[in-house]
Amino acid sequence: MRIAQVAPLWERVPPPGYGGIELVVGHLTDELVRRGHQVTLFASGDSQTLAHLEPICPKALRLDPETLEPEVYAVLQYKRVLDAASEFDIVHFHTSYPALPYAEMLKTSVVHTLHNGFTRENQKVFQHYRHQPFISISDAQQQRIPNLNYVRTVHNGIDPESYPFVEVPADDPPYLAFLGRLSPQKGVHHAIEIAKRTGWTLKIAGKVDPVDLAYFEREIAPHLDDRQIQYHGELSHSDKVRLLGYATATLFPITWEEPFGLVSIESMCAGTPVIAFKRGAVPEIVAHGATGFICETVEDAVDAVSLVEDLDRENCRDFVERHFSVSSMVEKYEAAYQKVLNEFWSRNGRAVSEPTLAA
């Protein structure tokens, strides 16, 4: 199959640190190549991939201070995809609603993965283009706009080999971990409250976007003391894995309907249980009482901290390997591509029985 993957340009593929969408796109793209498909990745020029790379900008836009109008590169990216569309069996967009009007112009099959949440504003755009094929990353995500043309749900997957299993967490001192964008939606302030109420050390890591700077300075910075509440900045992949793996538990106290939550499976893959708030896709990802605890309130999370050391860390790892591997994810994407292609060919008079999954 000839497949185009259209990635966001804000981060490279895969990201050197934080960047869930780009990590998933990187895994998907490389595994499709390994399975014999002809894949082209439209992404930033510093991306690293087994596929043919079509660089749209020299490097990830977030890392280029000279980029004043990032939207320009998005337009150039879509123009490049439009010009090359006839070379592909399917074009897979990972760039949310801005891709929708461009996808309407293509004369080849398309599919969109919905990596982000829905907002009051962007719902209007999705509703207008609801006939286009969409892949959700959780069943919970579909409930937000149930009338879109969903092909199926494909949960995100990771490579377990990139997350060494840690059998015994650190004890000098033992600590809780928080990893993610430092924003109100991710609930860092709740993580701090949980740590302070339990007396545990909390190690925080992640980036602060400009839009979240005021929140960081108001709700986070006053609590940082380099002892109990520590901020470690944005980490490399290896440092991130160590932070999660040696934690006793990872806190995921989100305040919004998170469509997935990659940090949760990264943590469990390293052996560390997750204490999460019951929002969005959390019930689809964390097995309550087995790989972590799903909580309604801060009080519930405080109580869970005292129970988490009784959970089996090997069970956390096994759970991810069974349900959230790259292999499992890509098999489901291949099936979704075939379904979209069959429907496209049916509308356009091509035989639906023609084999395509082989290279």
Give the CATH number for residue 7: 3.40.50.2000
Closest CA to 265 of 187, 162, 336: 162
Query: What pLDDT shows up at residue 350?
Result: 64
CB–CB of 182/220 below 8 Å? yes
Sheet architecture: strand order including 175-179: 229-231, 201-205, 175-179, 249-252, 274-277, 292-295
User: In the 8-state DSSP scheme, what is residue 288?
Assistant: B
pLDDT beneath 70, residues of the chain: 350-359
* Same domain, yes or no: 202 and 136: no
Q: How far is CA 233 from CA 15, 63, 135, 155, in A?
A: 15, 16, 32, 28
Count up the domains in the chain and report the number: 2
Rg of the chain on CA atoms, in Å: 21
Q: Is residue 138 part of a domain?
A: yes
Q: pTM of the predicted model, to two decimals?
A: 0.92
CB–CB of 191/251 below 8 Å? yes
* Same domain, yes or no: 177 and 196: yes
Closest CA to 273 of 242, 316, 239, 304: 316
Q: Is residue 66 part of a domain?
A: yes
Query: What pLDDT shows up at residue 64?
Result: 83
Query: What pLDDT shows up at residue 358?
Result: 46
How confident is the model over 246-264, as pLDDT tens digits? 999 999 999 999 999 999 9
* Same domain, yes or no: 15 and 136: yes
Q: Is residue 355 part of a domain?
A: no
At 114, which helix (H) or strand (E)?
strand 109-114
Distance CA 209, CA 350 (A): 47
Domain residues for the domain of 169 are 160-322
Name residue 215's amino acid: Y
Handedness of CA 193, 198, 199, 205 (dihedral sign): negative
CA atoms lying within 13 Å on the CB side of residue 162:
16
Query: Residues 6 or more apart from 333 whose CB is under 8 A from it?
Result: 28, 32, 135, 154
Q: Pairing mode, if any, of strands 229-231 and 201-205?
A: parallel
**Angle of the 20-34 helix axis to the 326-348 helix axis, nearest 10:** 80
Query: What pLDDT shows up at residue 357?
Result: 54
* Same domain, yes or no: 184 and 84: no
How confident is the model over 108-120, as pLDDT tens digits? 999 999 999 899 9
Share in percent of the chain as helix, strand, coil (round to 5): 40, 15, 40
* Same domain, yes or no: 241 and 299: yes
Distance CA 20, CA 240 (A): 13
CB–CB of 262/245 below 8 Å? no
Q: Is residue 358 part of a domain?
A: no
